[in-house]
Chains A and B, each alone.
Chain A
C-alpha cells in the first residue's frame, strides 16, 4: 500500500471535514481513525478514489463520535444534516491547515507535533517515537495543542514565516524511530510550495534538498560524523542538488531575498564545489554578510567566522570570532578548528577537548574528542 499517498491526502481530507462544519479537533480525530482503517483495508482492497473513500469514512467516524456524545446537542443537530459531498480539493484549505497547526499561540513543540499529525498524517505513536517521548505524553501535547487552536477561525490568513519555522524545526530533528523526519519535512515543504507562490517557501525547500543531498556522506559506516571538507562528494545525491539549485535560482530571480534563500545559496555553493579546496569561500562570506543583514542570529555570525577563516586565512577568522561571545554553542569548536588551521596544534587540541565537554549531542561529542585525540597523537609523535 502506498503510505505516502495516504499521508499526502490527509490535510485535504481534514480540510473538507472542517469546511463541512466539523470542529477541528473532532475532525482531526476522525481523519486519524480513517487513516488507521485505510491501513487495515487498503492492502486487500484499494479504493479507486482513495480521497473520496477517506472523506466518507472520516465523515462517518465524525458523525458516530458526535452522535455518541449525547451531551452535545448542537453538534448532533449539525451531524443530522448530511451535507453534500465536499468541494474538489482546494489547495487553499490545505494551506489553512498549515497556518492553523503553526499558529503563533502554540509553543514550537506543540506546533511541530500538531503539524506532523494533522498535516503529515503521522500517528501519535510515530511522532512520539521520533521525538523519544512516551506516547501518552505526545497524545497530551497534541490534544492540548488542538484545544489551544480551537477558537482560531479556519479562514484567517496566517503567517508563512511561522509555518516555515515549524517545518525547519522538523527537518533539523533528523530521525529516530521508523519515521524519517527530515524526509517528512521535505515532503511537507514540497506540498506547501505547491500551494503557495512564495520565494521563502521555495528557499526553504531548496535549503532542505541541498542539505539532505549530503546526508549519506555525512556519517561514516561506524556512525561517526564526517566534516564537509572530508566527505566523499561522489556520495552526494546529485538529483536532489540539481532540484535544489533550480528551485533556488527561480526564487532568487524574484528578487525578494530572505533568510532561507540566503542559507540555501550558501548550501548551493558548497554543493557546487567539485572538491573542498575549490569551494568559493569569498562568495560564501558575501552570502553570510547578506544573511547577517536579514537576521541577527549569532549562529550566522559564528558560521561567518568559519567562512572568513577559509576565505582570508585563520587569523582573520579568529579576529571575526573574537567579536562574538564565547558562550555561543559551538564557539569553542570553531575556535579549535581555526587554531588548528593556524598551526597552533596545542591550543587546538585543548579547545577540541573542551568543546567535546560542551557538545550538544553524542555524535558531535565523539567527533570533537576524536579531533582532540588526533592532534594529541600528532603532538606526541
Chain B
C-alpha cells in the first residue's frame, strides 16, 4: 500500500475543459457536484482506500519569523500568488495505477450542464518515514 495526495487547486492548475465558475451553475448542478464528492469519499471508505479529505478556505496569510522577541511578520491575503490549494484527499492504494484511476474519476465530477469538469488534479506520492521491507 502507498499513500497519495490528491490536490485540488483554486488557482494554479491548468484550466479544466468545462471551465465555468461555480456561481454560474444552476443550484441543482451544485447539489449534484457536492453529492458526487461525498459519494466518492464514501465509496473509498468502503473499499478501505480513504484516509482523509479536507477543504481549505481560499484566503490565507503568509507568515514568517522576524527575529527574537519580535512578532512574526505577516502578509496577505496573497492575491497575487500563482498557486492556491482548494483542498485535498489522501488515499491509500495498492498501486500507482489505482491512484491514477481514482484521480481520473474524481476529475470527472459533474459541473456546469451536468457535464464532467475534467479538472486537473495534482497527484503526489506521500513519503513514508522509513523504507518498507520490500524495498
Contact = CB atoms under 8 A, between A and B. Distances in A.
Nearest to A361: B55
Q: Is the interface of B mostly helix, strand, loop or mixed?
A: helix
A376 B23 CA distance: 7
Given A369-B22, A373-B23, A222 B59 contact: no
B24 interface: yes
Interface of B: 22-27, 29-31, 34-35, 38, 55, 57-59
B23 A366 contact: no
7 contacts: A222-B31, A223-B38, A358-B59, A365-B55, A373-B23, A373-B25, A374-B27
Nearest to A363: B34
Contacts of B24: 373, 376
B59 A377 contact: no
Central interface residue in A223, A353, A372, A373, by most chain B CB within 10 Å: A373
A352 interface: yes
Contact of A222 (B25, B29, B34, B55): B34
A353 B23 contact: yes
Contacts of A353: 23
A267 B65 CA distance: 46
A352 B29 CA distance: 17
Central interface residue in B34, B55, B57, by most chain A CB within 10 Å: B34
A34 interface: no
A377 B30 contact: no
B106 to A, nearest CB: 16
Contact of B27 (A357, A359, A370): A370
Contacts of A356: 23
Is the interface on chain A under 10, 10 to 19, 20 to 34, or 35 or more residues?
20 to 34
Contact of B26 (A222, A223, A357, A373): A373
A50 B131 CA distance: 51
Q: Top 7 closest A-B pairs, CB basis?
A: A372-B23, A353-B23, A370-B27, A374-B27, A357-B58, A373-B27, A370-B30
Interface in A160-206: none
Nearest to B21: A353
Contacts of A224: 31, 34
Interface in A327-375: 349, 352-353, 356-360, 362, 365-366, 369-370, 372-374
Contacts of B30: 366, 369-370, 373
A149 to B, nearest CB: 31
Nearest to A359: B57
A366 B57 CA distance: 12
B27 A377 contact: yes
A128 to B, nearest CB: 14
A377 B55 contact: no
Central interface residue in B23, B31, B34, B38, by most chain A CB within 10 Å: B23
A224 B32 CA distance: 11
A247 B59 CA distance: 43
A63 B117 CA distance: 64
Given A222-B34, A224-B31, A377-B26, 10 more contacts: A357-B57, A357-B58, A362-B55, A366-B30, A366-B34, A369-B30, A370-B31, A373-B22, A373-B23, A373-B24
B61 to A, nearest CB: 14
Nearest to A380: B24
A339 B27 CA distance: 19
Contacts of A358: 57, 59
A376 B25 CA distance: 8
A370 B31 CA distance: 8
Contacts of A362: 55
Nearest to A374: B27
A366 B55 CA distance: 12
Nearest to A350: B23
A374 B34 CA distance: 16
Contacts of B25: 373
A377 B30 CA distance: 12
A142 B96 CA distance: 40
Nearest to B38: A223
A279 B49 CA distance: 49
B124 to A, nearest CB: 22
A372 B23 CA distance: 5
B65 to A, nearest CB: 24
A224 B27 CA distance: 11
Nearest to B33: A366
A365 B25 CA distance: 15
A360 B58 CA distance: 11
Contacts of B34: 222-224, 366
